């Protein structure tokens, strides 16, 4: 695995325009993904994970605006023309969508999907070369050549997801964004997909951004994890370190909410993710945080670097000169709650 980043994201913002005002879906996010590295992106629904993945690839709907930097091969993808981005998507930048049945054309055979994909980006390939390369990629996914001329509806959900992965991999991208690739799949197929992704980075050195709700998948398949909340990265670090000793209260609450064989009672995070049109002042997690202090509602937290290359966006970790002495009393917490309700 190379330590040089394939993609470097710096202060990326993605806003959606609405009649009520801009939705701050991604708000000054920075991260790196190295060759052969898997970065897991986790968080509750609506925290901006999918928007971040699409923002990196420049696949945003009309009405969305973005700024900041997404540096790939020395070029900034933000602001790049649609024509230039189309050249990069496929051979350089790949995306695995959610819900493969809605992404595969029901009127096209699987063979036609591969012919269209390869013909668009590698027009010099002959029909024989397209067939050979397609079948090789499908074979890696466990799809036999006898299924090559079938239609999407003739496959199970797990096999359609493998076909979507194969379509993304047939062009051998340097960066792959996998947006919940195991959603709605049973645990057997899920394990097969994870094995395929592990083989992908070993064989091709692909940098992978794995977006998921499943913390178990992150623990098993990812080198690093970034925890996203309300459009910001709350914590990032090596998966082993984050899972064994979470630094941010939100990460800690997420881990407490997972179910295992040792679970004796269910736990959930009180409240709900904030409205990204009008998010809470200062720290966006403070209305739900069990460790909230007065400063959390007054000032935006400053990102702190921890041991092992970890970083966290939380006043619990400083800078100490800005944190009131003695922390927060129960009365102060009640005052914060009253102020938020007002």
- With H, G, I as helix, E, B as strand and everything else as coil, classify residue 68: strand
Same domain for 185 and 68? yes
Q: Nearest Cα to 284, choosing from 324, 231, 337, 226? A: 231
Q: Return d(Cα 11, Cα 327) in angstroms, integer.
A: 30
Q: Return d(Cα 239, Cα 219) in angstroms, integer.
A: 6
Phi, psi dihedral angles at 11 (to 5 degrees): 50, 45
The residue range of the domain holding 322 is 280-342
Same domain for 189 and 306? no
Same domain for 53 and 28? yes
Same domain for 206 and 342? no
Same domain for 292 and 246? no
Determine, yes or no, domain membership for 152.
no
Same domain for 320 and 240? no
**pLDDT for res 325:** 57
Same domain for 322 and 262? no
Determine, yes or no, domain membership for 117.
no
**CA trace torsion 74, 77, 79, 80 (10° rounding):** 80
Report pTM: 0.87
Cis omega (within 30 of 0) for bond into 19: no
Same domain for 305 and 239? no
Considering its fold, how many domains does the chain have in total?
Answer: 2
Q: Are 54 and 48 in contact (CB under 8 A)?
A: no
Tokens (6 digits) for 134: 């397609």
| Alpha-carbon separation of residue 186 from 129, 154, 165, 190, 197 (angstroms) | 34, 18, 17, 6, 17
**pLDDT for res 332:** 47
Each residue's pLDDT expressed in tens, for the chain with a length of 342 residues: 456 799 999 999 999 999 999 999 999 999 999 999 999 999 999 999 999 999 999 999 888 999 999 999 999 999 899 899 988 988 899 998 877 667 889 999 999 999 999 998 888 899 999 999 999 999 988 899 999 999 999 998 888 888 988 898 888 899 999 998 877 677 877 787 788 778 878 877 889 999 998 888 898 889 999 999 999 999 999 999 999 999 999 999 999 998 877 888 888 899 999 999 999 989 999 999 999 999 999 999 999 999 989 999 999 997 876 666 555 444 344 444 544 554
Residues in the chain: 342
Q: What is the CATH number of the domain that holds 16?
A: 3.40.50.300
Same domain for 260 and 289? no
């Amino acid at each position: 695995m190379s330590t040089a980043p394939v993609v470097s994201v710096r202060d990326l913002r993605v806003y959606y325009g609405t009649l009520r005002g801009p939705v701050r879906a991604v708000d000054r996010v920075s991260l790196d993904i190295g060759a052969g590295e898997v970065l897991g992106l986790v968080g509750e629904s609506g925290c901006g994970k999918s928007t971040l993945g699409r923002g990196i690839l420049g696949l945003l709907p009309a009405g969305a605006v973005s700024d900041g930097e997404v540096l790939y091969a020395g070029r900034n993808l933000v602001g790049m023309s649609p024509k230039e981005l189309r050249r990069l998507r496929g051979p350089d930048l790949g995306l695995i969508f959610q819900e493969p049945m809605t992404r595969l054309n029901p009127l096209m055979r699987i063979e036609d999907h591969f012919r269209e994909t390869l013909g668009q980006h590698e027009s010099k390939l002959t029909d024989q070369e397209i067939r050979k390369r397609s079948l090789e990629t499908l074979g890696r996914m466990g799809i036999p050549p006898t299924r090559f001329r079938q239609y999407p509806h003739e496959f199970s959900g797990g096999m359609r997801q493998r076909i979507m992965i194969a379509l993304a991999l047939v062009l051998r991208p340097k960066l792959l964004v996998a947006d919940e690739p195991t959603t709605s799949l049973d645990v057997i197929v899920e394990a097969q997909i994870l094995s395929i992704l592990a083989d992908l980075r070993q064989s091709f050195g692909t940098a992978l951004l794995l977006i998921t709700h499943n913390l178990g998948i992150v623990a098993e398949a990812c080198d690093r994890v970034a925890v996203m909340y309300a459009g910001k990265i709350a914590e990032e670090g090596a998966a082993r370190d984050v899972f064994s000793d979470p630094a941010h209260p939100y990460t800690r609450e997420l881990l407490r909410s997972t179910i295992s064989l040792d679970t004796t009672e269910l736990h959930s995070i009180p409240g709900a993710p904030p409205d990204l049109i009008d998010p809470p002042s200062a720290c966006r997690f403070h209305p739900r945080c069990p460790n909230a202090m007065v400063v959390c509602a007054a000032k935006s937290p400053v990102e702190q670097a921890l041991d092992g290359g970890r970083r966290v966006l939380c006043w619990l970790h400083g800078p100490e000169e800005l944190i009131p002495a003695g922390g927060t009393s129960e009365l102060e917490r009640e005052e914060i709650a009253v102020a938020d309700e007002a």
